[in-house]
Amino acid sequence: MSAPALTVTVDGAAVEVPAGATVLDAARAAGRWVPTLCFDERQAPFGACRACLVGVEGAPAPLPACTTPCRDGMAIDTEDPAGRRVANAVVELVLSELPQAPGPDTELARVARRLGVGAPRWPGEQHAPEPADARHPYLAFQHELCISCGRCVRACDEVQGTFALTATGRGFHANVVAGLDEGFRASACVSCGACADTCPTDAITEVSLLALTATGSTNGGPS
């Protein structure tokens, strides 16, 4: 006996969703775009990027769509101005911590383009560039591109079940490493590539694609 479906409205259009669906599920079901960076449909929602804030009637402030459960009758506004201001600000902050612009094909770059966020206006500290770690035949780390969205760690946990990756450090210097920061090969990694598949910035990417990255920068791996 499963719980009954809910009906909510998204930008004025009614849509039916199963019990337990999140506001983001409803928006996607209604075909409406909500910016996300830390969301991957293969993983449980995480709530880290805060780019998915949307307006919900009756709520005093915009709510994160990916972690807010739907209630029957909820009215959702995916373009709530305050929510979009936060989304734009978050994307701009994230761009500001990277030493170079993300590759144009990355999810981060695509979200930034769609939101109309250009070069970040934040001077100040960035992740220190380092040579790409390509000790593994297939998987490469470019640590300075990591935005700590957690998707790779969660892919290795919730999808593959190998637990070879971890977030490391705290605050601004948080990053991701494999095993005891020993690289993919020496860690428990089984090379399934789920991490590279989900990474929105190419902080983890395929070695063979490093050469194809069209950022025009000298940073990042073999030419």
Query: Measured from the CB atom, is 5 or 82 closer to other proteins?
Result: 82
| Eight-state DSSP code of residue 22 | B
Tokens standing for 133?
Answer: 């770690």
Query: Measured from the CB atom, is 2 or 12 closer to other proteins?
Result: 2
Query: Measured from the CB atom, is 1 or 12 closer to other proteins?
Result: 1
Tokens standing for 132?
Answer: 């790409």
**Residue in 35, 39, 54, 64 binding other proteins, rule: CB under 8 A:** 64
Q: Which stretch binds other proteins (CB under 8 A): 8-16, 25-33, 111-119, 212-220?
A: 212-220
**Contact between 151 and 43 (Cβ < 8 Å):** yes
| Interactions with other proteins, residue window 2-31 (CB under 8 A) | none
Any idea what the Cα angle at residue 170 is, between residues 69 and 146, rounded to 5°?
75
- Alpha helices (runs of H) in the chain, residue ranges in sequence order: 23-29, 81-97, 107-115, 151-154, 183-186, 194-198, 207-210
| Interactions with other proteins, residue window 158-177 (CB under 8 A) | 158-161, 163-174, 177
| Interactions with other proteins, residue window 114-133 (CB under 8 A) | 121-122, 124-125
56 closest CA partner among 11, 6, 19: 11
**Residue in 16, 137, 217, 222 binding other proteins, rule: CB under 8 A:** 137
| Interactions with other proteins, residue window 73-92 (CB under 8 A) | 82-83, 85-86, 89-90
Instruction: Name the minimum Å distance from CB 109 to other proteins.
Output: 10
Window 184-203: contact mask with other proteins (x via CB under 8 A): -x-xx-xxxxx--xx-----
Report the SS3 class of residue 88.
helix
| Interactions with other proteins, residue window 30-59 (CB under 8 A) | 37, 41-42, 44-51, 53
Instruction: Name the minimum Å distance from CB 15 to other proteins.
Output: 20
Q: What is the DSSP string of 112-138?
A: HHHHT--S----S--PPP---B--SSS
- Alpha helices (runs of H) in 171-222, residue ranges in sequence order: 183-186, 194-198, 207-210
Residue 67 near other proteins by CB under 8 A? yes
